[in-house]
Amino acid sequence: AAMFAAGLFVCSLAAFQVVSRAQYAPDEVTHLPGMSFKPNYRQWSGHLQARPGKFLHYWFVTSQRDPVKDPLVLWLNGGPGCSSLDGFLSENGPFHVNDNGATVYENTFSWNKIANVLYVESPAGVGYSYSDDRKYATDDDQVADDNYKALQSFFAKFPNFTQNEFFIFGESYGGIYAPTLSLRVATGAAKINFKGFSVGNGLSSFELNDQSLIYFGYYHGLFGEDLWRDLNINCCDKESCDFYNTSSAQCNTLVNVAFGIVYSSGLNEYALYLDCEGGRRFHRGYQRTMSHLFTNSRKHQDSHKKFSDGVSPSASVGEVPPCINSTAQLNWLNRGDVRKALHIPDTLPPWDICSDVVGGQYRNLYPTVKDVYLKLVSLGLRALVYNGDTDMACNFMGSQWFVEHLGLEATANYQTWLHDNQIAGFYEQFGNITFLTVKGAGHMVPQWAPGPAFHMFQSFITNSSY
């Protein structure tokens, strides 16, 4: 608490310093409908140019502590095709939307308490990002290129922030976005003071994600002995099990039954121990997203469709990933006065949390980002791979196996870390890369464990112990 109080004191001074730093007055957000408090930071919302004709919507908030010295952090949500404004308005932004969809409240654990944070909606076609030609087919490398160009566009607007230490954070499919963009930043010509990247509940390897989920499901009591025995008989030999790339039709059927329990029986796939909010309606853009996650098991998946709850595939705009309620954010962001305050052109369509158009045409190019990580670590960059340990979309074990399989030498054995004198999770280190769990949190760690998430964030960006 003392730190926050000190932060408030510095802010009044910092606000004056920043005036000279920001070069892009037209994008400044001077008021926001539904905000009854006066923010002690400055914010801008507008568009950054990626490839010609492609414009990514950004929302940038300065640090509440010392914008001049504090790091700059880029935040990317995943999908592919889901909006980073979910990160702002539900996870780690300076304020969140009340359930009424009309007013906002301050987030005590906002990451901009100690950092300047840049939220970018990517790729074009997501949220308020757009392309002049309205063509939204893209792939992992194009997205990394576009995000790199958008970053350069950001630094052209805000040149004074090129000196700040820079970090990239990605969540979920951001497991692909963050390292691929990091490699471009680390090896590209643009002068950026890049220090490291982090991936939260990320997809890093399709194979390890699928393979580990079967173990996660069984040992969390979701499958029962009969299914587990059948999986072992049909998918395993004496040495090992292969739930991912099997040639056995019987094994494949059983794996799909298991995935069906995880994803379409009514469990909250993002947080096993939280209720499923808003019934089991889902967002079609999200259905596409999940089809990217489990590419292999879907090749023969006619017998057991994952989304088999009888919902018509043309779920209406405004429905969200299963068991997640984002109605408040959706209603607030689509208000005419909010759009105007954020400088969103009238010609752009309504905001939605995920885009079916982007997700449906998206091409995955990286079955694993192992080689990308090894290059980044060899360049001396720091990395944090963290997971809420109740998530099933990108479970912690898949991430743990991924980090352990990089073949790096362990420098700190698996051990607990504390927040408020309680065990907040576990971590292990391999030189510059840390794998860390957040106990009891689901897919969106900053949303469901805001205190521990802030602690972890602060430790990582200051390169101090957890």
For residues 175, 177, 179 and 185, what is the CA-based torsion angle, rounded to 10 degrees?
-160
Q: Of 342, 309, 297, give the one whose Cα is nearest residue 121.
A: 342
Distance CA 76, CA 408 (A): 27
Is residue 336 helix, strand or coil?
helix
Distance CA 174, CA 394 (A): 11
Q: Are 134 and 162 in contact (CB under 8 A)?
A: no
Catalytic residue among 391, 399, 419, 455: 391
Is residue 441 helix, strand or coil?
coil
Distance CA 33, CA 54 (A): 28
> Around Cβ 34, how many Cβ atoms within 10 Å?
18
Residue 49 phi/psi, 5-degree rounding, is -80, 130
Distance CA 7, CA 21 (A): 19
Catalytic residue among 131, 172, 182, 198: 172
Known catalytic residue at 443: yes
Angle between helical axes of 249-264 and 224-235 (0-180°, round to 10): 140
What single string gives the DSSP state of each residue in 218-254?
Answer: HHTTSSHHHHHHHHHHHHB-SS-B-SSS---HHHHHH
Catalytic residue among 47, 57, 443, 455: 443
Distance CA 396, CA 70 (A): 30
Tokens of 125: 């076609």
Q: Are 76 and 353 in contact (CB under 8 A)?
A: no
Known catalytic residue at 210: no
Known catalytic residue at 20: no
What single string gives the DSSP state of each residue in 158-200?
Answer: SGGGGSS-EEEEEETTHHHHHHHHHHHHHHSSS---EEEEEEE
Which residues are the active-site residues? 172, 391, 443
